[in-house]
Chain A
Amino acid sequence: MSAEKFEQKIREKVEGAQMQPRPELWAAIEGQIAPKSSGRYLFWWWTLGVFVAGLAVAGIYIYMGIPQKTEQPSLTQYQALDQEIPSSISDTIRSEETRQTLGAYIPHATPTSSHHTSQMISGQPSQTMLPLAPSSLSSIRMAPISLAAPLDPALPPKLTFVHLEPMLFDGKKLPQAATLLDHEIASAPPVADPTHWRHTLATWSLYVQGGIGYGRKHFRDFTGAGAFTPSALSLSDIAYSDTYDFNLVPIPSENTDTIQVNRVAYPRYHQHAQIGIGRQYKRWGVRVGIGYRRSEWGRIETGFFPSNFVPIGEVDISELALNQQQTVTFRQVQLDLPVAVDYYLKRGASSLVLTAGWAGSYNLNRTKHVTFDVGPERTQDPLLTFNQWHSFVTGGIRYEHQLSPDLSLFLQPSFDHNLSAAYNNTSTAATEQNRMRINLDFGVKMRLW
């Protein structure tokens, strides 16, 4: 056998042969090629930067959301206060503000016009200052709250009001089913300065997101993710305060009062699952997906009443339980259809991803649940009709740090802005929905295969 032939045979024999290295070998290589200490510091600097940016955005947003005291008294009917319905149940940070003008009745420009007001007084706890004309007292008498006494002579003629709030009456639930009071108002006095109700709420919670991803060279980011936030994982519930400036026209000036109401808001749980598919080309990526959210969010309210408020009628002020509690819970189940475009900025094991997109959201179910200390009541909020569909634009910055090929940490401050209202306001109340939502997500991503 010639030397050349032998060499050729040897080559044929060994060429193309493959041996699978032990898995530990890659771990050893990876450990040596990963960015060293500078990368570690970089991670913390970037994390700090993203946090600061998120806080700045939240601060600006909250600051700009403070209502201006320039509203005109334009409402012709009573103003329902209890319009505080979240535009969307947030999974992380949410700040919401509702502004209302508590304007009482039509101003003197139309002193003889007839106006109409209605209120559901049972089955739906309200926090309504309801001015009533004397002519409607008969209707009032039909209500569970008896107002047999004559009008307070200090009040302007043909007008009175009553605070229809069941919880104020020592937790006694109204015995009747929902009763609608219709009142014809013959005339009305001049309207004083408008009053405001400002409500700011911030809740935040922590959740861990697990996901799976599968990627090929030109077809990356097939991901699925799930999150579950039981209340036990909530880091903090932030109490908020409402400031009510009661300045109803019929109330003499000495009855004007500003009170503070302390409430506690708390997310009960948040369940979130989504799958998505995406494609990345160079620095650009596009993702579509489908998501499912189920949230429960609630608040505890204590009773309130101006310290110098004297109700009309036979209600004994001593019976007012100023610390009665009611729990209002919102449940929401929605289906999201997000579309997003990403732009990747990579540096070693770290990535900064700028993301913007749009999402359509379908409300599968949304309810308001009210619980008193005398028993639960469940109601679909009669004053609001939730839209089945709404959509929002999204934007955010995601920071990812890859600890290993299969494990990454991520941090993503983002915002959602509702393009369409989450609910229809079917009442006569002036309610401004907050359409902005701020999120801060952080967690761990794992690649399972």
Chain B
Amino acid sequence: MNRPYHALIRGCVKQDPRAQRELYELFAPKMLVVCYRYASNAAEAEDILQEGFIKIYQSIKKYKDKGSFEGWIRRIIINTAIDVLRKERHVHHQLELNEAIAEDYQEDVLDQLEAAYVLDVIQGLPDGYRMVFNLYAIEGFSHAEIGKKLKISESTSRSQYTRARSMLKRKLVDSRMFQHSYRDVS
């Protein structure tokens, strides 16, 4: 049982506006980051967050009190992101992009970059790559699960992830160079 959130969940089930706001204030900052990773820009991230929270309030009475409450919220947000992006763009058609290998990627690149930068770089990936990368590398879904979610084959998910990772490395290296040059100038 999610004891810390018990009263909050009950309040939201009863549509108590105070509880609803409290829930939003508690989880919206974290979930906006999730949305930001899936969206192609900040406005789209906010759209996903808005739609996601409406779904949360509408379906909170179905929450079974099993597993992490935050995990339940996160799943709704991710599913909303997939729905939104699938609705607005045909994800599986955009997965056929050229592979870009980052030859000069080194281990310390990520250490030198700030989280906000990394998020921006992830957001800069093409829609399909970004989706598969997020689901596999960060959320921990298997390629089989991703295939079902995105309605693509498992092998497609696997290959797209490989390409996404390479592209991300390339972008991270470029971002680091940009950061350095930016720092030098300023």
Residues of A within 8 A of B (CB): 1, 3, 5-7, 9-11, 13-15, 17-22, 25-26, 28-30, 32-35, 215, 217-218, 346, 348-349, 402, 404-405
What does the 1/0 interface line of B138-170 toward A look like (CB < 8 Å)? 100000000000000000000000000100110
CB atoms of A19 and B29 under 8 A apart: yes
* Chain B interface category by residue count: 35 or more
Say whether B33 faces chain A, with CB atoms less than 8 Å apart.
Answer: yes
Say whether B50 faces chain A, with CB atoms less than 8 Å apart.
Answer: yes
Of the candidates B16, B107, B111, which one forms a contact with A346 in the assembled complex, judged by CB atoms under 8 Å apart?
B16
Q: Known interface pairs A28-B50, A29-B24. Does A217 touch B29 (Cβ–Cβ under 8 Å)?
A: no
Question: For the complex, what is the distance from the CA of A34 to the CA of B58, rounded to whole Å?
Answer: 11
A168 CB → nearest B CB, Å:
62
Q: Which of B17, B18, B24, B169 has the most CB of A within 10 A?
A: B17
Closest Cβ neighbor of B133 among chain A residues:
A10
14 inter-chain pairs at a CB distance below 8 angstroms, sorted by A residue, are: A7-B138, A10-B118, A13-B115, A15-B138, A17-B116, A18-B30, A21-B28, A25-B46, A26-B24, A30-B21, A32-B54, A348-B15, A402-B17, A405-B17
Q: Known interface pairs A6-B165, A21-B46. Does A405 touch B33 (Cβ–Cβ under 8 Å)?
A: no
Say whether B32 faces chain A, with CB atoms less than 8 Å apart.
Answer: yes
Say whether B49 faces chain A, with CB atoms less than 8 Å apart.
Answer: yes
Contacts of B129 in A (CB 8 A): none
Q: Which of A11, A19, A346, A348 has the most CB of B within 10 A?
A: A19
Q: Known interface pairs A14-B118, A32-B54, A35-B15. Does A19 touch B33 (Cβ–Cβ under 8 Å)?
A: yes
CB atoms of B119 and A14 under 8 A apart: yes
The 6 residue pairs across chains A and B that have the minimum distance between CB atoms: A18-B29, A7-B137, A19-B32, A17-B115, A9-B110, A1-B107
Closest Cβ neighbor of A22 among chain B residues:
B46
CB atoms of B17 and A25 under 8 A apart: no
What does the 1/0 interface line of B100-120 toward A look like (CB < 8 Å)? 000001110011010110110
CB atoms of A217 and B32 under 8 A apart: no
Question: For the complex, what is the distance from the CA of A33 to the CA of B22, rounded to whole Å?
Answer: 14
Question: For the complex, what is the distance from the CA of A176 to the CA of B138, rounded to whole Å?
Answer: 97
CB atoms of B24 and A17 under 8 A apart: no
CB atoms of B18 and A405 under 8 A apart: yes
Within 8 A of A (CB), among B34-87: 36-37, 46, 49-50, 53-54, 57-58
Question: For the complex, what is the distance from the CA of A18 to the CA of B119, rounded to whole Å?
Answer: 11
Of the candidates A17, A20, A217, A346, which one forms a contact with B8 in the assembled complex, judged by CB atoms under 8 Å apart?
A217
Question: For the complex, what is the distance from the CA of A193 to the CA of B124, rounded to whole Å?
Answer: 100
CB atoms of A33 and B119 under 8 A apart: no
Say whether B97 faces chain A, with CB atoms less than 8 Å apart.
Answer: no
Of the candidates B49, B118, B119, which one forms a contact with A25 in the assembled complex, judged by CB atoms under 8 Å apart?
B49
Say whether B177 faces chain A, with CB atoms less than 8 Å apart.
Answer: no
CB atoms of B118 and A29 under 8 A apart: no
Question: For the complex, what is the distance from the CA of A150 to the CA of B20, rounded to whole Å?
Answer: 86
Question: For the complex, what is the distance from the CA of A217 to the CA of B17, rounded to whole Å?
Answer: 13
A325 CB → nearest B CB, Å:
53
Question: For the complex, what is the distance from the CA of A346 to the CA of B18, rounded to whole Å?
Answer: 12
Closest Cβ neighbor of B35 among chain A residues:
A19
Question: For the complex, what is the distance from the CA of A269 to the CA of B138, rounded to whole Å?
Answer: 65
Question: For the complex, what is the distance from the CA of A28 to the CA of B57, rounded to whole Å?
Answer: 14
Question: For the complex, what is the distance from the CA of A14 to the CA of B168, rounded to whole Å?
Answer: 14
CB atoms of A33 and B29 under 8 A apart: no
Say whether B14 faces chain A, with CB atoms less than 8 Å apart.
Answer: yes
| Further 14 A-B residue pairs, CB within 8 A, beyond A18-B29, A18-B32, A33-B54 | A5-B107, A6-B165, A7-B138, A10-B110, A14-B33, A14-B118, A14-B138, A15-B138, A21-B49, A29-B24, A33-B15, A215-B18, A217-B22, A218-B7
